[in-house]
Amino acid sequence: MTTTIIWTIAIITILGVVLAVVLYLVAKKFKVEEDPRIDEVEKVMPGANCGGCGFAGCRAFAQSCVEAMNLDSNYCPVGGNDVMKKVAAVLGLEVKEKAPMVAVVRCNGTCANRPKTNEYDGYQSCKVKAALYSGDTGCFYGCLGCGDCVAACQFGAISMDPETGLPVVDEEKCTACGACVKACPRRVIELRNKGPKGRRVFVSCVNMEKGAVARKSCKVACIGCGKCEKACPFGAIKVEHNLAYIDFEKCRLCRKCVVECPTGAIHDVNFPTPPVKPAPKPAAPAQTVTPAPKPAETAAPAAEKPVAPVKETEHKVEPEKKSEE
């Protein structure tokens, strides 16, 4: 009995050693050499593994950068231009600087602007709420207010305002990773250019219904009137599907659209002063046209009065008397 146990243990041990040696030899023969630059690039990455770059994590992003011919299609939103310069230095490539982005909530449907039509008493999730029904207000496009974006943000850059019921983005903490954009089922949150000094102009509405219907469900909805599009001198605004959209690449922050918007759907952020509507130009005084003087009329020649016929008087001439001699 004891001998059997000893032989069993010995055989299993020998078999394990043999298999280990075989696995080692196979691994050495079929080993795939990895580019050492991947580790170097990964070291300069922020290590957030947020997926904002479009890859599963920082190492996958580093591998993509090493394998790419250039860095035009790769960008780390968390590290920004500083990290990309370090990556370019490791790989010996050039990189173009990109404008910083920030998450923007394109909905101003506060409790005052968008009154509730019913009460939702289910699981507090925007995704679940959007799947069950159209929402607890008359707007079928706006924010649902359950805070899925808050839970998705790894950097604590989003919080819910209890007074308005809308999410608020902290610009200093936002890394533009895009996690909140993916988490929002209504596509209310958008990544936009942060702008010089944090100044930007955008349409805070995503309602694509006709003007009367949209205005009925929310006081500050975009009604698609097109006044902003006509007022923009740079062609940065387009109205499609009853909704205006501002292209931040073309926008020059003149804020003429903010002044023209009749519902206040266009927001301007971080400007020192509110936009001032230009005073209407005074009407030009009516020019009095003085009639040209009429040419003097030539007096008609007076009609000649008929001359009365002169009566001929006979003068009798007496013969001269001969003087008497």
143 is in an annotated binding site: yes
In sequence order, what E strands does 30-187 have? 101-105, 158-160, 167-169
146 is in an annotated binding site: yes
**Closest CA relative to residue 105, chosen from 202, 18, 2, 34:** 202
251 is in an annotated binding site: no
Domain 37-91 sits in CATH at 1.10.15.40
Q: Is residue 183 a contact partner of residue 152, using CB atoms and an 8 Å limit?
A: yes
Identify the helix (H) or strand (E) that includes residue 234.
Answer: none
149 is in an annotated binding site: yes
Strand partners, 101: 193
Its sign, for the CA torsion 43, 45, 47, 51, is: negative
Q: What is the pLDDT of residue 166?
A: 96
111 is in an annotated binding site: no
76 is in an annotated binding site: yes
- pLDDT (tens digit per residue) in 57-98: 999 999 999 998 899 889 999 999 999 999 999 999 999 999
Q: Is residue 200 a contact partner of residue 253, using CB atoms and an 8 Å limit?
A: yes
Q: What is the pLDDT of residue 284?
A: 59
Alpha-carbon distances, residue 1 vs 10, 14, 76, 119, 187 (angstroms): 14, 20, 66, 76, 73
DSSP 198: G
Q: Is residue 172 a contact partner of residue 241, using CB atoms and an 8 Å limit?
A: no
Topology of domain 195-273 in CATH is Alpha-Beta Plaits (3.30.70)
Alpha-carbon distances, residue 93 vs 34, 102, 176, 217 (angstroms): 20, 27, 24, 53
Is 195-273 in the same CATH topology as 37-91? no
How many whole angstroms separate alpha carbon 279 and alpha carbon 80?
43
Strand partners, 192: 102
How many whole angstroms separate alpha carbon 145 and alpha carbon 134?
13
Question: Dihedral through CA 144, CA 146, CA 148, CA 149, nearest 10?
Answer: 70
User: pLDDT means per 10 residues in the chain (325 residues)?
Assistant: 84 93 89 85 91 90 92 91 94 91 96 91 93 90 96 95 95 94 96 93 96 94 96 96 96 95 95 77 60 54 51 48 42
Topology of domain 118-188 in CATH is Alpha-Beta Plaits (3.30.70)
Domain boundaries, the chain: 37-91, 118-188, 195-273
How buried is 268 (Cβ within 10 angstroms: 0-12 exposed, 13-18 middle, 19+ buried)? middle
DSSP 205: -
225 is in an annotated binding site: no
**The two structure tokens encoding residue 141:** 């496009």
